[in-house]
Amino acid sequence: MKHSIVSRITEGAFRYQGWPTVTKGEDGTLYVGASGHRLNHVCPFGKNLMYVSFDEGESWSCPQIVNDSYLDDRDAGMLAWGDGNLLLTFFSTSAEKFEDFDLEDGKPHVNVRSPLAMGMRALWDTLSKDQLHPGSYTRISRDNGKTWSEPRPAPVSSPHGPCRLKDGSLLFVGSIVTEGSFDSTDHTKRIQAFRSCDDGKTWHYLSHIPYPEGADQAHHEPHAIQMANGDILVAVRYENTYTPVMKSMRIYTALSHDNGKTWEKAGFLDQHGAPPHLLQHSSGAVILSYSRRLEPMGQYVRVSRDFGKTWSKDTMISPEESTGIPAWDHGYPSSVELANGDILTVYYQKCPGDGYCSLHSIRWSLDELE
């Protein structure tokens, strides 16, 4: 396994980066989307950035700003296909949402009362509602990310965005965003599936993802893929709101045999950790990547060779000798397959000695798990 850095910023106020997604173009170019230019995990300045690699992750470009509203633009789902097509998904947090964090001031992941943050909050009072419109959005590029469309409303949000089906349509399984925040305890707004036949201009509702038995609490941050056998597999982050988040974070999965119109009964995996990302490998294996925020913390993978019915044991792929033991604020791994069958997994975490999170990658192979 080989660890490397996608992006690390060591000077200036806006050093924090997080929640990355990696995708691969038809020509082998790798793209990573992330939320960066941040004061911290929670702040009003987030922008959606893109990094590009032409050598399978050995080196990366400087950050390119893809999206920058007046609000905090979070997550950065990235999907590449065909001749230069890229889709970015993100969500923006409402200005009013930051009032909720005032009581949390002083926590290490919150920075909303610094002079910089207060200056942005004062600016919000001078802007129109059209300039402060939170929600979930997509932007599309037809030229490998050189130019981008205007933001287009999306019906749901998830950290790693939609998947492309074999018929060319997009399947977006995600959480409803209400005024820039997830209302995951409202059962009418649980995980939903939408389809687009025009590359994300318009979406139509397909279905709700079923709950596992007894799981009636917080559902969010799903990811779905179409597997080699044609079935759709979705994995969902779940938390029991009566238990501390770190202890209750789990993943459940569900299968669809009709492109997301209906789903089999969902079931939990026997591990701690989330949120999920799924990859169909050319070998036929399905790879699930996720992070653990309880000891032993780090980035983990599991493999299924029967299209999501059973899974291998969980294996940590983030070596402590390279990255150090992470603080809780890390994870959101996503993976792509490289030309020789190796996998590149990208995630966020602090470098040893740093106070801010950076973007990391691990190159590994299925043989190393066996």
For the chain, the domains span 2-369
> What is the spatial distance between Cα 252 and Cα 268, in angstroms, rounded to a whole number?
4
| CA nearest to 75, candidates 141, 174, 210, 211 | 174
Q: Regarding predicted confidence, which is higher, 363 or 108?
A: 363
Tokens 């949000």 map to which residue?
157
Count of C-beta atoms within a 10 Å radius of residue 28: 12
CB contact at 8 A, 140 and 154: no
> What is the spatial distance between Cα 77 and Cα 162, in angstroms, rounded to a whole number?
8
Q: Kindly list the distances between the CA atom of residue 54 and the CA atoms of 21, 22, 28, 30, 356, in Å, as whole numbers in the listed order.
A: 16, 13, 7, 7, 27
> What is the spatial distance between Cα 25 and Cα 220, in angstroms, rounded to a whole number?
27
pLDDT at 182: 45
> What is the spatial distance between Cα 217 and Cα 224, in angstroms, rounded to a whole number?
21
Q: Kindly list the distances between the CA atom of residue 50 and the CA atoms of 24, 96, 170, 301, in Å, as whole numbers in the listed order.
A: 13, 28, 21, 24
Q: Helix or strand or coil: residue 97?
A: helix
Left, alpha or beta for 331 (phi > 0: left; psi -120 to 50: alpha)? Answer: left
Q: Regarding predicted confidence, which is higher, 310 or 355?
A: 310
- Residues above pLDDT 90, as percent of the chain: 75
Is 2-369 in CATH node 3.10.450.750?
no
Answer positive or negative: Cα dihedral of 225, 345, 327, 74: negative
The DSSP output letter for 42 is B
Q: Would you place residue 369 in the very low, low, confident or very high pLDDT band (cuts 50, 70, 90)?
A: confident
| CA nearest to 332, candidates 345, 320, 314 | 345
Q: What is the pTM of this model?
A: 0.94
> Does 319 score more than 80 pLDDT?
no
pLDDT at 187: 45
pLDDT at 110: 83
Helices (H) and strands (E) in the chain, counts: 3, 26
Torsion angle defined by CA atoms of residues 69, 70, 71 and 77, in that order, rounded to the nearest 10 degrees: 10
Mean pLDDT calculated for residue range 288-315: 95
pLDDT at 247: 79
Cα atoms in the Cβ-side hemisphere of radius 13 Å centred on 113 = 11
pLDDT at 183: 47
Q: Helix or strand or coil: residue 203?
A: coil
Q: Helix or strand or coil: residue 189?
A: helix
Mean pLDDT calculated for residue range 160-185: 80
pLDDT at 152: 94
Tokens 């045999």 map to which residue?
257
> Does 336 score more than 50 pLDDT?
yes
pLDDT at 206: 95
Contacts of 79 (CB under 8 A, 6+ apart): 23, 86, 87, 89, 161, 162, 163, 164, 170
Mean pLDDT calculated for residue range 313-338: 84
Tokens 């190796």 map to which residue?
342
pLDDT at 370: 72
- Residues above pLDDT 70, as percent of the chain: 92
Tokens 């993100």 map to which residue?
90
Torsion angle defined by CA atoms of residues 100, 103, 107 and 112, in that order, rounded to the nearest 10 degrees: 60
Q: Helix or strand or coil: residue 245?
A: helix
Per-residue pLDDT tens over the stretch 3-60: 999 999 999 999 999 999 999 999 999 999 999 999 999 999 999 999 999 999 999 9
* Per-chain mean pLDDT for the chain: 91
> Does 165 score more than 90 pLDDT?
yes
| CA nearest to 190, candidates 214, 206, 209, 203 | 209
CB contact at 8 A, 314 and 304: no
Burial class (CB in 10 A: 0-12, 13-18, 19+), 217: middle
List the structure tokens of 246.
């770190």
Q: Regarding predicted confidence, which is higher, 295 or 17?
A: 17
